[in-house]
């Protein structure tokens, strides 16, 4: 019915940059909050960044000043620009979106995950 498809992960050296993209598609009436989680092996999943429908953003403290999230409401796509990457940023990153479907169901959707590895 609805899905989120992520792209942009990969291997990057410390100090490098990556840009993640996540596009929502399907029987969508409207998209509300969008954002990003990450999970490293053996650690809990944490909320990295979120952006509401008006463009207001919030960030996990360790990524403030380095990561920027944005969205394109015309195509229901959310982005995560990651600069000055550190090894501790290595994780599988998952996008999410709270959406209302054309059947008027409100649900939380998740991307398939994209692996970010920061290593020399």
- List pLDDT tens digits, range 60-98: 999 999 999 999 999 999 999 999 999 999 999 999 999
Residue 1 above 90 pLDDT? Answer: no
Q: Which of 38, 33, 34 is nearest to 48 (CA)?
A: 38
- pLDDT, mean of residues 39-57: 96
């Amino acid at each position: 019915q609805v899905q989120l498809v992520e792209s942009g992960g990969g291997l990057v050296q410390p100090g490098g940059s990556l840009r993640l993209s996540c596009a929502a598609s399907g029987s969508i009436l409207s998209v509300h909050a969008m954002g990003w989680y990450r999970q490293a092996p053996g650690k809990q999943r944490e909320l990295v960044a979120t952006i509401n429908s008006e463009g207001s953003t919030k960030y996990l403290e360790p990524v403030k000043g380095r990561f920027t999230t944005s969205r394109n409401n015309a195509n229901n796509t959310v982005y995560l620009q990651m600069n000055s990457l550190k090894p501790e940023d290595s994780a599988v990153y998952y996008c999410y979106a709270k959406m209302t479907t054309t059947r008027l169901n409100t649900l939380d959707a998740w991307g398939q995950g994209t692996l970010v590895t920061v290593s020399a």
